[in-house]
Structure 1
Amino acid sequence: MDIDFLISLLTIIGIDIILGGDNAIVVALACRNLPKEQRNKAIVLGIGLALVIRIALTLVAVQLLKIPLLLAIGGALLIYIAYDLISQMNNEHNVHSGTSILSAIKAIIIADFIMGVDNVIAVAGAAHGYPSLVILGLIISVPIIILGSKLILVIFERFPFVIYIGAGILAFTAGRMITHEEKLAPLFESHPIVTVIFQLSIIIGVLLAGYFKRHGFLTNFSTRY
């Protein structure tokens, strides 16, 4: 197995699990009013349909990112998504809870579609043009999200630094997207040290900016000056 393929696969799985914390919350909220005997059915059907839609959207995104400069633009957008993951990590989720299986499934699919934009961009960028990576990564990570949804939520609550790890993965993916952009690749390929410095700068910059924003340092600075 190609090492780049393996790194991309592990990155996709990491992205899906980290961003899957939100999906776990969505599923829990959408099914909270259902009778216990119906919850598992709603979870499986809802996540299954949402997974099919997400795979389709991500495969489309993989193809779109082959358009010149879109890979770099997607990487820039992913930098903001990584920053936003940290700065907005305490946001509450407002998800409609259904009282029937169909309404719960509908809530899961709609919420997942709306909240899944960051996941689609991140996975498409990490796939580097391999559609099989998209499908394989999602297939591996979704059962982990379903079976470990409660564990994921507990980890996020007890160990907030895990969010920083997730943001770091997204920032790493963003850096790889930009350095793999066809129009920019010659520059980075001919200067490997520049590539390393550039990618490290993105990761460190995202983590610091997100940390400062979350703790109000940026707000206090702008207010003071």
Structure 2
Amino acid sequence: MEILSTQFLLALGSIILLDLVLAGDNAVVIAMASRKLPENMRKRAIYIGTAGAVIIRAIMTLIATYLLTIPFLQAIGGLILLPIAFKLLKPEKHNLEDTNSLSASTGFATAIKTIIIADAAMGIDNVLAIAGVAHGNMVLVLLGLAISIPIVVWGSQIISNLMDRLPILITLGSAILAYTSASMILHDKIIGNFLLSLTEYMNYILPVLFIGAIIVYSQKVAKK
């Protein structure tokens, strides 16, 4: 596939669209992971966390063909993501603006770690879809990431600022992550097929259960 050929440009356009569509949840988790940080540290956490996530995403794409052969991969990713959805609902124990530099540094490192882990768990769908479009062409994959990432980072900063003003968005964000977790489990070739064999309504039951648990937990946290 020659660079700048019609086929290359069409594939690149498809990858950019896939990145943006599939990265909506990633923008949410970046925003939620960084929302507890003071303003002067929030952007740094977003930039560093996103950079780390991009590196992980690129590595995952390189081995995407191998990943496709691993049983239970999507289900494991979904199970990793669900606890993160609950964790992000927990209120901050300290005001980071008033604590010493050590506690602020710990929150900063935690935000970056959360962004990278969540993106890696959620990135499985992205990697598999993009690998299919790119047909192993890493130039396409890297160009698509490079173009779409600034949009995701910009979007996460807007979401983060809105969460400061509208706390209900935090619950909504966790609910989105819970839905994504259920979706990943249901799309796993082995676990998903098994769950769907139990009942044809599992596509609705599992997301409702996960989102319901998030709502109940958020109400419990709010009462503390």
Same fold? TM cut 0.5: yes
Match of 1:16 in 2: 27
User: Which of 83, 86, 105 is the aligned partner of 1:83?
Assistant: 86
Matched residues in 2 for 1:176 and 1:214: separation? 21
- The count of residues paired between Structure 1 and Structure 2 equals 192
The aligned counterpart of 1:28 is: 39
How far does residue 78 in structure 1 lie from its aligned partner after superposition?
1.5
Q: How many percent of aligned residue pairs carry the same amino acid?
A: 17
Q: Do the aligned partners of residues 188 and 213 (structure 1) sit closer, same or farther apart at CA in structure 2, a change above 3 Å counting?
A: closer
Matched, 1:159 2:158: no
Deviation at 1:142, TM superposition (A): 0.5
Deviations 1:165-214 (A, max 9, x none): 2223212222232222233455578x7x73xx334333322232233233
Gaps of 5+ in 2: 1-9, 132-140
Partner amino acid, structure 1, of 2:82: I
- From the superposition, tell whether residues 137 and 93 of structure 1 become closer, same or farther in structure 2 (CA, over 3 Å): farther
CA displacement at 1:91 relative to structure 2:
5.1
User: How large is the RMSD of aligned CA atoms in angstroms?
Assistant: 4.4
Q: Residue in 1 aligned with 2:186?
A: 179
Contact 2:32/2:88 (8 A) holds in 1:
no
Q: More displaced, 108-117 or 155-164?
A: 108-117
1:70 aligned residue (48, 52, 73) = 73
Q: What TM-score do the two structures reach when normalised by structure 2?
A: 0.61
- Could you tell me how far apart the structure 1 residues matched to 2:92 and 2:24 are? 23
Counterpart position of 1:144: 155
- Counterparts in 2 of 1:14 and 1:202: CA distance versus 1, 3 Å: same
Secondary structure of 2:23's partner?
helix
